[in-house]
Structure 1
Amino acid sequence: MERRFPNSVASAPVIEFLPSQLTKRDDTGPCNVSLITPECLQWLYEIPTTPASHGIELAVPGYSNEWPQEAYLKTFLERYRPDIDADTTWDLVTLDGGSDPQGSNSTSVEGNLDMQWTIGLATNVTVRLISVSNISIPTGDEFAESLIDTASYMLDLDDPPQVMSTSYGVNESQVSEKLALCVNLRLRSD
């Protein structure tokens, strides 16, 4: 008998807003509805622009051959965070065949988005790219294995980064029950 994860949104309430119910705030600060910038998010969420204290570190995992490009980060910082050194990069850790080729004609939307926004919002924080695997389009189980590798790496560190930011995901129905349980157990350990 095949077991499935429950549909968590099947009974979620549907909330609908009509334009007449929405009100426009007069003060939108540096925000513009056509372009979200680091300055806008810093204003909205009161994210400080002052450099972080020494010793703060963030981790950004990269999967599916999504590699951030230093040249793209430089352009992003020059345009949106000129107060940050445009030559800022990241520390690299590779797991299970991961890599970080630069100048690879990469159109890595996810990898670039994650790194640009992490470095662009966390002023002067050390960022560690955890490049996992070299599978371009992983199956659900291959992706779950990459999550296990990432969790194992992080949990085995004596002094892990304080925050890990990720934007990757997979539908739970694409992951076998065995691997889903392994991911959950590994993330709950320690």
Structure 2
Amino acid sequence: MKKVLSLIGLIVVVIVGVTFAISTTNADKNKEETDTKDTTVYTLQQALSTDVYTANVDVEEKSLTLSTKRMDKNFDIQDSKELVLSEETEKELINQMVQWELVKYNDFDLTKSLRNDSHYDAYLTVSTGYKLYLDSVDKTIAISDKKQAYKIQNSGDFFTILKNIKEASAN
């Protein structure tokens, strides 16, 4: 009987030890994943730049073309419309974009974004042209050439202005 109780005690100690070791390993792994998440804040100029080419958002001649595009589940275009921007509105939108604070966003789902009304295609020309995908609900921007998305931390009135332009162009 004493041997059976000793054996049960030993098994309990081993199980507790193994459980503790596994939970410590998982906690360390989760901490490493959290620690490696990039929370660096980028400017639009930094986000557009590559290792080879530095974007220059300070050039005098800038332009912004915006369109709405909605696609069905097969990615066939259901609806596409270029938004008409006044020169003043175009400048205001570009100035707001230049002031954005961006954080890398790996959860961006372009396929979901393309199928809803919150998606905008943008073509921004500063020192060169950039194809951008904007989502007004998630407040995200994806840069086509870099295949990278960013969460916009301070979008200001940017998406409200876009919504107003979209509604005005619908009439």
Structure showing greater Rg: 2
The structure in which a higher percent of residues are strand is 2
Query: With structure 1 as the length reference, what TM-score do the two structures score?
Result: 0.23
The structure in which a higher percent of residues are helix is 2
Higher relative contact order, chain-length normalized (CA < 8 Å, sep 6+)? 1
